[in-house]
Each structure stands twice: as structure tokens, then as C-alpha cells.
Amino acid sequence: MACFRKYVESGGVNPLFKRDGLYNAALDSFSKTPFNDVSINAILRDAKMNKGSFYLKFYDKLDLYLCMMERVGKDKMEFLSKKLLAQKPTYHFFNQLHTIVLSSMEYARHDARFYAFWRIYLAEEDGIKNKVKKEFPELTNDLLGEMIDAAIEAGQINPKYDQAFVHLVIELYFNNLDKLVNASMTDDEIRARVEQVISFFKDSLAVTQ
């Protein structure tokens, strides 16, 4: 199967963008229970949806999970974009990077389910995480790419590192954030780890004043 999401294969639109009942039922379940333990029957019961209608739109539980993550992810990117737009145009790249990571935590607190889901996702098995990363390389890359390009043009990143390398290093960090923090860490410990990583990037990539 080339793609885990049925709507992508058929050239359609994410069904959860129009089905709030199913989206909320899915988020309720996946924010309380690890992926393998979630019952698709319970989700459908809560959403008042029959299996026939479900399988017209989705391959399986993984498809629903990914579509739910896509809806959350796009809403999150809109939230982060507004946070960055609120900053001055001359704001330094590494401060922007710091804002993105901490704002992501802030976004998760808008709805208790987002934060609970994020905590559960951190503890998911690698097989699930790898499928998520395969499906959604674009959720942060476009925004990060624009930021990196602007930082290079503004002379904020050391010119000895080429553009492609900087893109790769930063994207590797965001795509593997779950390896740097885990579900057992407190909020303060997560914040401290974020500060440590941003400091490392700044010391390594920034132009020395």
C-alpha cells in the first residue's frame, strides 16, 4: 500500500475535516488509550456511525488515526504561524525556533485531549511513530524551510554550513522530537530539554558575534 490514508489514494479530502462527530470520538479515544488498545467499534458507537459508512472513507483504524493527526496538525500549524507573525520581522531564527517548540506545548493545552494525546504518542511503539513520520513530512517542513531560508539570507546562520545541511539538521530534530523527550518527563524537564537543544543549535549554527 503506497499510502496509509484512503482519501489520499483516491484524490479526495480528509473526511475528518467535515465529520466533527467522528473526529471528536477518535480524539477522545486516542487521547486516553495507546493505539493498539483503542477499539474502533467503540469509536464508531460514540460517533453514531456504522461500519459500512466508515470503511467507505477509511482503510482501518490506522487510517482514522492518521486523519485525526492531520486535522490536529494543520490546526496546530495555523496556531504556530500566528504566533510567529506576531513577532517582529527581524526576530532571530533561533528565537523563532524556540517559540515554535514552546508554542507547540502551549497549543496542546488549548484542549486537554491534545496534551493527553501527545503524552500517549511519546510512549507509542516505533512502528506507529514511523508510519506517522512517513505520512506527514510536510507538516513542519514548509514553515521551517521558509524560516531557515530567511535566516540564511539575513546572515543569522554561519555560511560555512550549506542550506541543504541546515534544512536536514533542523528537520531531523523536529521529526525525532519524541526521541529527545518522553512521556515520563515532567513539563519542567521537557522545557529544560528544549532549552538545551535550542542552545546547542545556536552554539553550532549561529554566526559568531
**Residue 142: per-residue pLDDT:** 61
Q: Spell out the domain ranges in the chain.
A: 71-205
Given this model, what pLDDT does residue 190 score?
82
| pLDDT of amino acid 175 | 67
User: What are the pLDDT tens digits along the chain (209 aa)?
Assistant: 468 999 998 899 999 999 999 999 999 999 999 999 999 999 999 999 999 999 999 999 999 999 999 998 888 878 877 776 766 555 688 888 887 777 777 777 778 888 889 889 888 999 998 898 888 866 555 667 788 888 888 888 888 888 888 888 887 777 677 677 776 888 888 888 888 988 998 898 888 75
pLDDT at 97: 81
Give the separation between CA 29 and CA 35, rounded to whole angstroms. Answer: 9
Torsion 151-153-155-158 (CA) sign: positive
Decide if 70 contacts 136 (C-beta within 8 A).
yes
In this structure, the number of other CB atoms found within 10 A of the CB of residue 103 comes to: 16
Q: How far is CA 82 from the centre of its chain?
A: 16
d(C-alpha 144, C-alpha 81), whole Å: 11
Question: Which has the closest alpha carbon to 100: 201, 208, 32?
Answer: 201
Length of the chain: 209
What is the structure's pLDDT at 140?
53
CA separation for the pair 68, 71 (Å, rounded) = 5
**Which residue, 54, 35, 36, 34, is CA-closest to 44?**
54
